[in-house]
Amino acid sequence: MRRKRYTQPKRRRPRNFRGIYIEMGWGAREHYRTTTRQVAKWIEECGGDELRAEREAFAGGRAKPRPHLRAAHRKARENGEVNEPQ
């Protein structure tokens, strides 16, 4: 006998999501108590790049870029591009 898979019911985008996302950014995930995947879906439903541009303008620009991979950080450190704590 095949087991039934549990799937969560699809959640509709809240009416005030656009404003909350512009104010809070990805903090909207905790605000709505939902998953990152769901917030990403709502961002796309609200205009995607346009919404991200509005958030960036509201927040005062982009955050400082950070190397996300250890290898990238190691390479930057070897090239003297990263300040080491003393």
- The domain segmentation of the chain, as residue ranges, is 17-78
The CA distance from 40 to 35, in Å, is 9
The CA distance from 55 to 17, in Å, is 12
The CA distance from 47 to 60, in Å, is 20
Identify the pLDDT of residue 71.
62
Give the residue from 50, 45, 52, 8 showing the smallest Cα distance to 26: 52
Identify the pLDDT of residue 67.
47
pTM beyond 0.75:
no
Identify the pLDDT of residue 80.
74
Q: What is the full per-residue pLDDT of the chain (86 aa) written as tens digits?
A: 677 777 767 789 999 999 999 999 999 999 999 999 999 999 999 988 899 989 989 988 775 555 455 666 667 777 777 665 55
